[in-house]
Structure 1
Amino acid sequence: MKAKDLDKLFDGGEEDVLQHFDLSKVRRIQFEHELIELELPKERMAELDAEASRLNMTRDQLISEWVRERLEAKPAAE
C-alpha cells in the first residue's frame, strides 16, 4: 500500500490503520536515558512551555527534539 492511500484511510476516519502493517517485524529500540537539570529564566520557561503546548508536546519532548535536530544539523568532523 502506498503512503498516500494509507493517508486517505486515516484521514477518512479509519481508526485502526495498524491492520495494514506487518507488526511481526516491528521492534522497539531501547535507548538509555540520562536525567539532566536545566536552569532557565522564568520568561524563557514560559516561552518554552507555550511552544511545547502549541506543538502538543511536553517540555521534555520539545527540548529533546530540538537537541536532536541541532546535533543532526552539525557538520561532520573533518
Structure 2
Amino acid sequence: MKASDFDAKFAEGQEDIVEDLDLSTARRVNQDQKRINVDFPAWVVESLDREAARIGVTRQSIIKVWLVERLQAEAVNQSLNRDAAGDGH
C-alpha cells in the first residue's frame, strides 16, 4: 500500500488501519535498552534490596523506577525554571 493511500485511510477514520501495519517490527521511540554497570557501596545495595523486598520488586526494578522518577522531576524543575526566568520577574 502506498503511503498516500494509508494516510487517506487513516484520515477518513472509518476503517481499521491496524491490519495494514506490520507490528512485528514496531518499536517505541527512545525505548531501546542499553546495559550499564554501576558500582554502589555495600550499604546502598543492602538498602536497595530491603526496599525492593518490602514492595515486592527486584533491585533492578526499584533502581529503574527511582531514576526515572528523579529524571522526570528534574525535567519539570528545569521547565519551571525556564518559564520563571522568561516571564520577566
| Separation in structure 2 between the aligned mates of residue 43 and residue 73 of structure 1, nearest angstrom | 25
Using CA pairs below 8 Å that are at least 6 residues apart, which structure has the higher relative contact order? 1
Superposed CA RMSD in Å reads: 2.2
After superposition, the Cα gap between the structure-2 partners of 1:29 and 1:66, relative to the gap in structure 1 and judged at 3 Å, is: farther
Cα deviation, residue 41, structure 1: 1.0
Cα deviation, residue 67, structure 1: 0.7
Correspondence for 1:68? 68
Correspondence for 1:40? 40
Post-superposition CA distance 1:44-67 (Å, at most 9, x none): 111110101111111111001001
Aligned residue pairs, count = 53
Cα deviation, residue 29, structure 1: 6.0
**Tell me, which stretches of 5 or more residues in structure 1 are unaligned?**
1-26
Q: Which has the larger radius of gyration?
A: 2
| Separation in structure 1 between the aligned mates of residue 27 and residue 53 of structure 2, nearest angstrom | 27
**Which has more helix, going by share of residues?**
2
The AA in structure 2 aligned to 1:60 is Q
After superposition, the Cα gap between the structure-2 partners of 1:29 and 1:52, relative to the gap in structure 1 and judged at 3 Å, is: farther
| Separation in structure 1 between the aligned mates of residue 68 and residue 36 of structure 2, nearest angstrom | 15
TM-score (norm 1): 0.58
User: 1:42-61 to 2 correspondence within 5 Å?
Assistant: 42-61=42-61
